[in-house]
Chains A and B, each alone.
Chain A
C-alpha cells in the first residue's frame, strides 16, 4: 500500500482511503485530508520528520507516522 509517507517531495498525489479510527483519523480528516483530495508534498523538515504538504490551498505539517494512515494513488 502506498501511503503519504511514500510520496516524494515535489509531487502531487490523491488520497484513496484513510485508514485508522478515532481521534487521529478525525483530526486528519477535519483538516481537509479526505478521500479524493489532492496533496502536494512540499518539503521534509530538517530532521527528516514531519513533512509539509499543501492541501486545499494551505500549508500543513504532518508527521510521517500520521501520514501513514493515508493511502495514496
Chain B
C-alpha cells in the first residue's frame, strides 16, 4: 500500500524546490508566482511506495481560478493520505490563510515552514510550539533550497498518515458565525463524507456554487439555511464569503502577533528595496527593461553566441566532423548514397540545428538568471499599464515571458488567468514571442544576410511585443473579447541572488529538451527530407541533382503560396512547411539544402543567400516563420487549452494570418520603396496595412450591455 503526500502551499513558497529535492526530479522553478500550473506526481527518492503530488501554488481554495479548483477538487475528492503544507516563513501571515482552509478538508496536515535560513538571517523568531498547539498540526522547519529538514518533513508526513486521524480544528470563527456553521453541519451531516463535513459546511455558508454541486440540498433546507446565513450577514454587515475571509485573517493576526517576533527594521532599506528603487523607477524602468532585453539578445545571439555558433557551424560541423566523416566513409568504400545521407542529411540537417545550440544555451542561461532573480515579476508590474490598455492583465505578461523559452509552457501558464476571455486571448497571443527554436531561425538569417547587425535579434523580440500589443488591441475590440479587464493583484517576490545550481539546472533542462528533439523529431524529419531530396519519383538516387528530386516537385506545388512573400521557390516552401513540425527544422532544412546544393568550397551562408537572393527576401522569410502559427506541439497544446475545436482553429488561423500578412507587407512595400516595383500584391499589402490600422484604431463598437462577471474558470 503506497502513501500519497500532497504538497500544498502559496505560489512561490518553494513547493517545487521541495518536490525536486524529495523526488530527485528537476521540475522548473522560477522566482515568480504561478510557475506550477499543473499537478505533478513523483516518487520519493529512496522509497518508491511514497508518491509525492505537487499541486499548483494557490493563495486560497476559492472557486474562482482554475488552479484553485484543480487543487481543492484533488484534495477533497481524491483524498491523499496526508497534506504537506509548505509555508514561507518570511511571509507567514498570508501563508497561514491557506493553512486554515487546508485544515478544514479533514485530512491529516503537516506544516513545513520553509526558508528558515532566511528567517534566521533576518533575525526573526517564530515560536513553532505556539503555532503547532494553536493549529493542531505538527510543524517541521525546513530549507528546501539547501535540502535541510526535508527528510524530517517526510518522516512527519508518514507518521501523520499512519496515525490517520486529525486533531481538533483551531477556533477560527467567532460566536454567531460558528453557530451558523455548526447548524449547517448538522443539516448536511448525512449528505457528505464525515471527514469533509467542516469543509462543506463552510462552503455552504459561503454560498460556493462549485462546492454546492456536490451537496444535494432540498429547496426547503436551502431556504432554511439561507435564513441563518442572511441573519449572520445582517449582524456582521458583510456578505458571508467576506465574513469568513475576514475572520480567518483576524484569527491569524492574533496568532502571529503572539508567536512571531519580527526584528524591527523601520527606515532601514533592504537590498531588495534598493534594487527596486532603480529598476522600477518612474523614469528609468522602461529604458532599463529595454536595455536588459537588448543585452540579453545582443550577447546571446550577436556577440558571444554568434562567435560560438560561427565556430560550431563552420569549424566543428563544417570542417572537422564533415571532413572526418566523409574521409572515413570514403576509406571504407561506403556507397555514395550512404555518404550523402550521413553528410548532407544528418550532418547538414541535425548538425546545423545543433550548431546554433550555443546561442540558445546562452539565451536560456541569461533568461534563467532574470527569472530566478525576481526581475520578471517586476516586468509584469512595469508593463501592466500597457497591457491594460487592451484589456489584458499583467498576468497575461507572464505567459509571454515564459514564451521566450518555449511556447508550450507559455500556453499552459495561461491557466492562471481567471477570466476566460483573457485566457483565450493570451493563448492566441503568447506564442508570438520568439521562442528558443525561433531564435535559431533568427540567428541563421542574421548570420546569412545581416552579419554583425546588433539589431536583428533584439528587434525581433521587441517586434514580438509590438505584435502582441497590436493584436491584443485589435482582438479586444471584437465582440467576444470586449469587456472589463480582470482584476490584477500580484505578489512581488523579494529579489534574491539566483542560485548557480538552480540556473544551471534550468538551462540544462531546456537545452536538453532541445537536443533530444534534435536527436528524434529533427533527425527523422531530416532523414525523410533527405530521401525526398535525393531520389526521384522512380526512387533512383540522384547524387546531388536536386532539380529532379521529389522534394523539388512537392515544393514547387506549394511554392505559389509564398510568391507574394518573395520566397516562392521550392526551397523556401519546403523550409517553411517543414518548420511547422518544429521551428528549428527550418534551419535544418536550409542547412541540408545548402549542403546538397553547394560545392564544397562555398560556405553555408553563401549557399543560403543564393537561395533567397536579397536580404529583403531573407527578412520576409524570417518574419513569416517566426510570427506565423507555432510548431505542431504548441498548436496541439493551444487546441487543448482552448478547450474547443472552434477556438483552436481561430487561434491557428489568426496566427497564420498575422505571419503571412506581416511578411507580405514587408516584402511588397520593401520592393516598392527599394526598387519601385508596384503590382497587384503591392495593392494587397496597402489594403492589409489599412485594414490593420482600422482594426487597431477603430472605436470599440457598442455591443450593448456586457455582463461584468467574468466568464468563469470552468475548463
- Among candidates A23, A25, A31, A48, residue contacting B59 with C-beta atoms closer than 8 Å: A31
Q: Is the CB of B94 within 8 A of A61?
A: no
Enumerate the 10 nearest inter-chain pairs by beta-carbon distance, A residue then B residue, closest first: A47-B385, A30-B60, A46-B285, A59-B492, A56-B93, A29-B245, A24-B487, A23-B64, A34-B249, A66-B487
Q: How far is the CB of B100 from chain A (nearest CB, A)?
A: 12
Nearest B residue to A47 via CB reads: B385
Q: Is the CB of B418 within 8 A of A31?
A: no
User: Which residues on the B side are within 8 Å of A27 (C-beta)?
Assistant: 62, 64, 418, 487, 489
Residue pairs across A and B with Cβ atoms less than 8 A apart, 24 shown, are A23-B64, A23-B709, A24-B486, A27-B64, A27-B489, A28-B489, A29-B249, A30-B62, A31-B59, A31-B94, A32-B249, A35-B238, A45-B280, A45-B285, A45-B385, A46-B382, A50-B384, A52-B381, A60-B489, A61-B380, A62-B489, A63-B487, A66-B487, A66-B488
B453 contacts A by Cβ under 8 Å: no
Q: Is the CB of A58 within 8 A of B97?
A: no
A1 contacts B by Cβ under 8 Å: no
Q: Is the CB of B283 within 8 A of A26?
A: no
- Among candidates A44, A46, A48, residue contacting B283 with C-beta atoms closer than 8 Å: A46
Q: Is the CB of A23 within 8 A of B418?
A: yes
Given A30-B60, A46-B286, check contact A18 B242 (CB 8 Å). yes
User: Which residues on the B side are within 8 Å of A61 (C-beta)?
Assistant: 380-381, 384, 394, 488-492
User: Which residues on the B side are within 8 Å of A30 (C-beta)?
Assistant: 59-60, 62, 97, 245
User: Which residues on the B side are within 8 Å of A6 (C-beta)?
Assistant: none
- Among candidates B97, B394, B487, B494, residue contacting A23 with C-beta atoms closer than 8 Å: B487
B357-407: which residues lie under 8 A (CB-CB) from chain A?
Answer: 380-382, 384-386, 388, 394
Q: Is the CB of B490 within 8 A of A60?
A: yes
Q: Is the CB of A45 within 8 A of B246?
A: no
- Among candidates A18, A26, A48, A60, residue contacting B491 with C-beta atoms closer than 8 Å: A60
Chain B residues bordering chain A, tally (CB within 8 A): 47
| Complex: A27 Cα to B286 Cα, angstroms | 29
A54-73: which residues lie under 8 A (CB-CB) from chain B?
Answer: 56-63, 65-66
User: Which residues on the B side are within 8 Å of A26 (C-beta)?
Assistant: 60, 62, 64, 241-242, 245
B281 contacts A by Cβ under 8 Å: yes
Given contacts A45-B280, A60-B489, 10 further A-B contacts (CB under 8 A): A26-B241, A30-B60, A30-B97, A31-B94, A47-B386, A48-B385, A50-B381, A61-B491, A62-B489, A63-B489
B239 contacts A by Cβ under 8 Å: yes
Q: Mark B457-498, 1 if CB is under 8 A from A, else 0.
A: 000000000000000000000000000011111111110000
B234 contacts A by Cβ under 8 Å: no
B245-287: which residues lie under 8 A (CB-CB) from chain A?
Answer: 245-246, 249-250, 262, 276, 280-286
Q: Is the CB of B91 within 8 A of A58?
A: yes
User: Which residues on the A side are within 8 Å of B239 (C-beta)?
Assistant: 21
B502 contacts A by Cβ under 8 Å: no
Q: Which residues of B contact A (CB under 8 A)?
A: 59-60, 62, 64, 91-94, 97, 238-239, 241-242, 245-246, 249-250, 262, 276, 280-286, 380-382, 384-386, 388, 394, 418, 485-494, 709-710
Q: Which of A29, A36, A52 has the most CB of B within 10 A?
A: A29
Q: Is the CB of A49 within 8 A of B93?
A: no
| Complex: A67 Cα to B92 Cα, angstroms | 23
Q: How far is the CB of A5 from chain B (nearest CB, A)?
A: 14
Chain A residues bordering chain B, tally (CB within 8 A): 36
Q: How far is the CB of B119 from chain A (nearest CB, A)?
A: 12
Given A32-B249, A57-B262, check contact A62 B93 (CB 8 Å). no
Q: Which of B246, B286, B488 has the most CB of A within 10 A?
A: B488
Q: Is the CB of A50 within 8 A of B64?
A: no
User: Which residues on the B side are within 8 Å of A50 (C-beta)?
Assistant: 381, 384-385, 394, 488
- Among candidates A31, A43, A46, residue contacting B489 with C-beta atoms closer than 8 Å: A31
Q: Is the CB of B418 within 8 A of A29?
A: no
User: Which residues on the B side are within 8 Å of A29 (C-beta)?
Assistant: 242, 245-246, 249
Nearest B residue to A36 via CB reads: B250
